[in-house]
Structure 1
Amino acid sequence: MSAALEVAGVSHRFGQRAALSDVSLTVERGHFMALLGPNGAGKTTLFSVITRLYNHQEGRVSILGHPLDREPSRALAGLGVVFQARTLDTDLTVAQNLHYHASLHGIGRAAARVRIETLLARVGLAERRNDKIRTLSGGQSRRIEIARSLIHAPRLLLLDEPTVGLDLESRADIVAIVRALVREEGLSVLWATHIFEEISPDDDAVVLHRGRIVARGRAGEIGTPGETLEAAFRRLVAEPDTRAVKSAA
């Protein structure tokens, strides 16, 4: 069975500036992968390439076995995305936002209603279905964005810094919801973050720095013996020009 996501040798430039240089990673089906990187590392650019907001200039991307360049519709049909920027319509209710998104995916109203009820229960906000988005907290809005990203039943979910700006409890809620989706429904996840508490030692992890992958492996094994993930990360991104990928043993 093909991987949920395969990125192979992807490079992308903005004029003379290299935003991504020969980036390769694989998210296996049913796995949670953490994508670590400081601001400006290229995480959002990589997400934009995977979602086809940008056409990558070199390399290839496949989603659930479908090449993004040759089968874009089939590839993107299996993908759900939560971008860093908030994109819900605050003047609409929770249900209206979700029904609108369902209609974009060609889901009929009756089927959408059932799917929306299921997803709102999954994210713990069924009682807020008729409330306007502007009345929700930041954490609640994020949970609705996760529900929206799952409306078409994708098998791969991308989340770009989904907990930035949230309090500790809200962050924990978001992480717990996504990990439950991986554990209980076999969802594949690529989670971009710089918050180390969100990453478990057994997670697959990739460190992106200045558009290049500088380390990969199990999160608990990146770095030298006895070195924490945070310490290893800070050392890796402090190096002025890291070319060789460092893989955990």
Structure 2
Amino acid sequence: MSALQVEGVSFAYGQRHALQNVSFSVTAGSFSALLGPNGAGKSTLIALLTRLYDLQQGDIHIFGHSLRSAPRQALRQLGVVFQQSTLDLDLSVQQNLAYHAALHGLSKREALARIDEELARQQLDERRHEKVRALNGGHRRRVEIARALLHRPRLLLLDEASAGLDPASRLALNQHVRQLCAEHALAVLWTTHLLDEVEHHDELLILNRSRLVAQGGVAQISRADANLAATFARLTGSEHHP
């Protein structure tokens, strides 16, 4: 089953087309990377996937549930880490997670059990009573991943999750998410503008000027070029990394 199926999605801001007839799928349990230069349509796509914007044309299915006709069921399958942090810096790690669990209707007992589970998974159990303000950027991102997984989604969407992190923290976060994907059969859609966050065996999606210009394995897409940077330049007309 596809974790995510995007079917003929188009979106416009007045006369400006942000997405034009975009279709792709993300396989359950896979790690897929979404690349694109500024203005390609990535942000609009993320807004549609998370229902910050309503669909204008086409449909999106998350594990078979339509965002048009069954949005609650669809969004239950989705966990999201946005580029801009939405944690309350003056609450503790546990308080941030407990608030999110309450929004999802979890009982206090169930919420605490899941918080324990996720903090252990993110190796943050000893930091649970610290205020988020005291954590470094990498640990804050792990708190956001823990929060995103509390309601046990099967698809995790990370929108430029490594933004603002130093290179070592970026690498650690990327590898951590890949480990979650492998160990828990979690589908991941990782949006980035950094080519070094994409690995040779990943599934790859490239957006350019509102259209999807490539989908498939990295090795397959880049076989005609010397490396992924050359592939990206060829497909987007960019001389620089995305």
Q: Please give the range of the TM-score, normalised by the shorter of the 2 chains.
A: over 0.9
The question of whether the paired residues in 2 share the 8 Å contact of 1:47 and 1:160 is answered with yes
The question of whether the paired residues in 2 share the 8 Å contact of 1:220 and 1:228 is answered with no
The question of whether the paired residues in 1 share the 8 Å contact of 2:55 and 2:68 is answered with no
1:203 aligns with 2:202: yes
Structure 2: 5+ residue runs without aligned partners? none
Helix, strand or coil at the partner of 1:4: strand
Greater Cα shift, 26-35 or 172-181: 172-181
- Tell me the alpha carbon deviations over residues 181-212 of structure 1, each in whole angstroms, 9 at most, x when there is no partner: 11111001111012122111111101001111
1:39 aligns with 2:35: no
Could you say which residue in structure 1 is the equivalent of 2:18? 19
* C-alpha distance in 1 between matches for 2:108 and 2:37: 42
Could you say which residue in structure 2 is the equivalent of 1:242? none
* C-alpha distance in 1 between matches for 2:132 and 2:9: 37
The question of whether the paired residues in 1 share the 8 Å contact of 2:225 and 2:231 is answered with no
The question of whether the paired residues in 2 share the 8 Å contact of 1:120 and 1:126 is answered with yes
- Tell me the alpha carbon deviations over residues 68-104 of structure 1, each in whole angstroms, 9 at most, x when there is no partner: 1011110001100011111101111100000000000
Q: CA RMSD in A?
A: 1.1
Q: Which amino acid letter does the alignment assign opposite residue 176 of structure 1? A: Q
Could you say which residue in structure 1 is the equivalent of 2:216? 217
* C-alpha distance in 2 between matches for 1:7 and 1:19: 15
Helix, strand or coil at the partner of 2:12: strand
Q: Which amino acid letter does the alignment assign opposite residue 32 of structure 1? A: F
* C-alpha distance in 1 between matches for 2:202 and 2:222: 14
Could you say which residue in structure 2 is the equivalent of 1:245? none
Q: State the 1:224 CA deviation.
A: 4.7
Q: State the 1:172 CA deviation.
A: 1.6
Q: Which amino acid letter does the alignment assign opposite residue 28 of structure 1? A: T
Q: State the 1:226 CA deviation.
A: 4.2
Q: Which amino acid letter does the alignment assign opposite residue 82 of structure 1? A: V
Structure 1: 5+ residue runs without aligned partners? 240-249
Q: State the 1:230 CA deviation.
A: 1.4
Q: Which amino acid letter does the alignment assign opposite residue 31 of structure 1? A: S
Q: State the 1:125 CA deviation.
A: 1.2
Q: State the 1:237 CA deviation.
A: 1.5
Give the TM-score of the pair, scaled to structure 2: 0.95
1:92 aligns with 2:91: yes
* C-alpha distance in 2 between matches for 1:73 and 1:186: 22
Could you say which residue in structure 2 is the equivalent of 1:30? 29
* C-alpha distance in 2 between matches for 1:229 and 1:56: 32
The question of whether the paired residues in 2 share the 8 Å contact of 1:201 and 1:219 is answered with yes
Could you say which residue in structure 1 is the equivalent of 2:150? 151
Q: State the 1:227 CA deviation.
A: 2.1
Equivalent residues in 2 for 1:183-198, closer than 5 Å: 183-198=182-197
Equivalent residues in 2 for 1:1-249, closer than 5 Å: 2-238=1-237
Count matched residues.
238
The question of whether the paired residues in 1 share the 8 Å contact of 2:28 and 2:186 is answered with yes
* C-alpha distance in 1 between matches for 2:95 and 2:41: 33
* C-alpha distance in 1 between matches for 2:233 and 2:116: 43
The question of whether the paired residues in 2 share the 8 Å contact of 1:201 and 1:221 is answered with no
The question of whether the paired residues in 2 share the 8 Å contact of 1:200 and 1:220 is answered with no
Q: Work out the percentage of aligned pairs sharing the same amino acid.
A: 51
* C-alpha distance in 1 between matches for 2:40 and 2:225: 26
